[in-house]
């Protein structure tokens, strides 16, 4: 079984695409990538991060270890499995669990206390296996998650038995490996050091969780390898390279947002694509911004700053009308069809290869993430301050109105400071007035991710989309810090940001530390916001009380009112 790929480009773009394919052939682009030639990109060590090219084939050769692990998990009698990780260590397992309907496989990638409590309440701890996934072994979040659940397991089954409830996935020589050995983890799976996190779907970071949830890894990798083989062909027969050339070309032409639509069965694939594309391309003042789960709009309402991607199951024709509308409006799109979810691995590789090709056209290094660390540094300063004094440094809003406290960049604070008796609607209107054509609007929500909060944030998204017609995205913190956060800080300065934070109704302590998860979350959100502002981004932070649903509902209503009064003012 093989997934199909096709595309539609307006005539002008199509001519340029044909020229690009010819240039790629003349420049031997495909062979140079497979030869791991760093000069394809910036010649700055990229060759050290190309292990993903053949990792599927290597893991296929070692497939017996996955079968043995799956048997071990099953025979041990575990009722549920929890993966503790962030970014590239968690997103592929999340896609697999949701796509294959593995309801007893859970992901924790949030420091929000309510999120951790919600997961904990679902688990029978003595019957749960925890997979701690961290390439570096020193990432803050999975280490705090492990500390919390290790204590929970010790309390339930005793410290002498706790290690058998834990598995580690990490690179050789990491701090996590040391912990796993000391605490007698059930197993340690070693990553390939030359495979970066967001390119690790077909490595141990994706396949170990796949085995734990009962997916046939041998079959899955076998089908994925078909895409690997095709990617060795010349550009005319290499759909992954063609996709990358289209992405890079569209970026050159000002189409720097990739809008993703999927069949319901594979809806979460977009979350994985977000990290891959944003973290790989969003740097040095350029970016391809992925737009996932955006409400569908009529073809004529979109600006000329987008490329569209349709990923559907074979036989699903729900987007056929939209494709026709887009072609009528000279909007380019690419389309992939999967005959079965079993071929999902082909898309992991296709988009990895395409992103590498697009990075070549953008003249960037798609394998580094120079701006991710900036928010971590600021968060660390705040947690260090908390450990010394027992409290976070003062967090002074420029306005408190009702149940909301507002923080903003200097320009916004200056605008509000010039107003007489400013109120919430004033702040919202002034911030939204800064949205310009070809911008994108991103919601950064450091709150529990559940059906209710997703729905309310989608309402905000729809309101902005309807009023301004710009691309929109929603990210839950801190998980987006390991994903789209790189593009927000290091990419093009065409983002307008709304950060949403809240108090915690019930905090949770982090074992073996002097702070709580609520403190970690607050430090992460404040550090993130500070870096956005320092980078000159247009950003507003809205902080609310501990009743998140009530606060969000109120914020949605206020945003709607602000936009309606703005529209009335424009027409009067």
pLDDT tens-digit profile of 172-215?
A: 999 999 999 999 999 999 999 999 999 999 999 999 999 999 99
3-class DSSP assignment, residue 133: strand
pLDDT one-digit tens code per residue, 298-346: 999 999 999 999 999 999 999 999 999 999 999 999 999 999 999 999 9
State the pLDDT at residue 136. 94
Q: Look at residue 160 and tell me whether its pLDDT is greater than 80.
A: yes
Query: Cα(434)–Cα(74) distance, rounded to whole angstroms?
Result: 55
CB atoms within 10 A of CB 94: 20
Query: Cα(246)–Cα(251) distance, rounded to whole angstroms?
Result: 8
Q: What is the mean pLDDT of residues 107-136?
A: 98
Q: Look at residue 567 and tell me whether its pLDDT is greater than 90.
A: no
Q: What is the mean pLDDT of residues 473-485?
A: 96
The residue count of the chain comes to: 572
Query: Cα(198)–Cα(205) distance, rounded to whole angstroms?
Result: 10
State the pLDDT at residue 235. 79
pLDDT one-digit tens code per residue, 230-241: 999 987 889 999
Answer whether 393's CB lies under 8 Å from 382's CB: yes
Query: Cα(407)–Cα(543) distance, rounded to whole angstroms?
Result: 8
pLDDT range class, residue 380, cuts 50, 70, 90: very high
State the pLDDT at residue 106. 99
Candidate from 302-311, 357-366, 370-379 with smallest mean pLDDT: 370-379
State the pLDDT at residue 422. 81
According to CATH, the topology of domain 55-221 is: Rossmann fold (3.40.50)
Structure tokens at 36: 């791991």
State the pLDDT at residue 572. 67
Structure tokens at 17: 């695409």
Check whether the bond before 430 is cis (ω within 30° of 0): no
State the pLDDT at residue 15. 98
pLDDT one-digit tens code per residue, 413-466: 999 888 877 889 999 999 999 999 999 999 999 999 999 999 999 999 999 999
pLDDT one-digit tens code per residue, 2-24: 999 999 999 999 999 999 999 99
pLDDT one-digit tens code per residue, 503-539: 999 999 999 999 999 999 999 999 999 999 999 999 9
* Homologous superfamily assigned to 4-18+236-361: Glucose-6-phosphate isomerase like protein; domain 1 (3.40.50.10490)
State the pLDDT at residue 72. 98
Q: Look at residue 568 and tell me whether its pLDDT is greater than 90.
A: no
Phi/psi-derived region of residue 571, left when phi > 0, alpha when psi is between -120 and 50, beta in every other case: alpha
For 185-247, what is the HEC assignment? CCEEEECCCCCCHHHCCCCHHHHHHHHHCCCCHHHHHHHHHHHHHHCCCCHHHCHHHHHHHHH
Query: Cα(237)–Cα(233) distance, rounded to whole angstroms?
Result: 6
Candidate from 56-70, 376-390, 484-498 with smallest mean pLDDT: 376-390
Residues 6+ apart with CB under 8 A from 71: none
Query: Cα(277)–Cα(75) distance, rounded to whole angstroms?
Result: 39
Phi, psi (5° rounding) for residue 32?
Answer: -65, -35
Question: Is residue 261 exposed (0-12), middle (13-18) or buried (19+ Cβ within 10 Å)?
Answer: buried
372-571: CATH architecture: 3-Layer(aba) Sandwich (3.40)
State the pLDDT at residue 505. 96
Strand pairing report for 128-133 and 187-190: unpaired
- How far is residue 27 from each of residues 235, 355, 521, measured CA to CA in Å? 11, 18, 47
Share of the chain above pLDDT 70, in %: 100
pLDDT range class, residue 68, cuts 50, 70, 90: very high
pLDDT one-digit tens code per residue, 428-443: 999 999 999 999 999 9
Distinct helix (H) and strand (E) counts, the chain: 22, 16
Answer whether 109's CB lies under 8 Å from 140's CB: no
* Of residues 133, 41, 47, the one with CA closest to residue 82: 133
State the pLDDT at residue 297. 95
Mean of pLDDT over the chain: 97
**CATH 3.40.50.10490 domain residues, the chain:** 4-18+236-361, 55-221, 372-571
State the pLDDT at residue 373. 85
């Amino acid at each position: 079984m093989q997934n199909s790929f096709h595309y539609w480009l307006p005539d002008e773009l199509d001519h340029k695409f044909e020229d690009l394919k010819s240039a790629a052939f003349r420049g031997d682009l495909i062979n140079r990538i497979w030869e791991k030639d760093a000069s394809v990109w910036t010649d700055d060590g990229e060759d050290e991060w190309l292990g993903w090219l053949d990792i599927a084939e290597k893991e296929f050769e070692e497939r017996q270890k996955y079968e043995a692990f799956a048997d071990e998990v099953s025979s041990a009698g575990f009722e549920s499995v929890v993966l503790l990780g962030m970014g590239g260590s968690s997103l592929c397992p999340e896609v697999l669990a949701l796509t294959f309907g593995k309801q007893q496989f859970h992901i924790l990638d949030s420091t929000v206390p309510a999120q951790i409590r919600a997961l904990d309440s679902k688990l029978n701890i003595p019957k749960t296996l925890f997979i701690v996934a961290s390439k570096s072994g020193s990432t803050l979040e999975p280490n705090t998650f492990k500390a919390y659940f290790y204590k929970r397991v010790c309390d339930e089954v005793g410290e002498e038995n706790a290690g058998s409830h834990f598995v580690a996935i990490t690179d050789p020589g990491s701090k996590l490996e040391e912990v796993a050995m000391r605490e007698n983890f059930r197993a340690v799976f070693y990553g390939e050091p030359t495979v970066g996190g967001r390119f690790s779907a077909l490595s141990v970071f994706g396949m170990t969780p796949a085995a734990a949830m009962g997916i046939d890894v041998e079959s899955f990798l076998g089908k994925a390898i078909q895409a690997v083989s095709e990617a060795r062909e010349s550009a005319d027969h290499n759909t992954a390279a063609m996709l990358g050339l289209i992405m890079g070309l569209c970026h050159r032409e000002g189409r720097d947002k990739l809008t993703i639509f999927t069949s319901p069965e594979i809806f979460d694939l977009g979350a994985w694509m977000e990290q891959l594309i944003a973290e790989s391309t969003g740097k040095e003042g350029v970016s391809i911004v992925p737009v996932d789960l955006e409400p569908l709009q009529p073809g004529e309402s979109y600006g000329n700053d987008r490329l569209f991607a349709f990923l559907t199951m074979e036989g699903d024709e729900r987007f056929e009308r939209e494709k026709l509308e887009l072609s009528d409006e000279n909007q380019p799109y690419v389309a992939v069809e999967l005959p079965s979810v079993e071929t999902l691995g082909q898309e992991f590789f296709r988009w990895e290869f395409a992103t590498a090709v697009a990075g070549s056209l953008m003249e960037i290094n798609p394998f580094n993430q120079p701006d991710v660390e900036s928010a971590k540094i600021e968060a660390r300063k705040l947690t260090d301050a908390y450990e010394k004094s027992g409290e976070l440094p003062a967090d002074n809003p420029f306005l408190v109105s009702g149940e909301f406290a507002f923080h903003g960049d200097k320009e916004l604070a200056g605008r509000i400071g010039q107003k007489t008796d400013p109120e919430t609607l004033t702040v919202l209107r002034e911030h939204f007035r800064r949205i310009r054509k070809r911008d994108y609007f991103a919601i950064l929500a450091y709150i529990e991710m559940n059906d209710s909060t997703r729905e309310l944030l989608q309402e905000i998204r729809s309101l902005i989309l309807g009023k301004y017609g710009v691309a929109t995205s929603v990210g839950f913190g801190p998980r987006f810090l390991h994903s789209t956060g790189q593009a927000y800080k290091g990419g093009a300065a065409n983002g307008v940001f709304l950060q949403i934070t809240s108090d915690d109704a019930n905090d949770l302590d982090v074992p073996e530390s002097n702070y709580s998860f609520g403190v970690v979350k607050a430090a992460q959100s404040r550090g993130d916001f500070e870096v956005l502002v320092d980078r000159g981004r247009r950003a507003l932070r809205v902080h609310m009380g501990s009743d998140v649903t009530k606060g969000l509902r109120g914020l949605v209503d206020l945003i709607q009112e602000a936009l309606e009064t703005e529209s009335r003012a424009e027409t009067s």
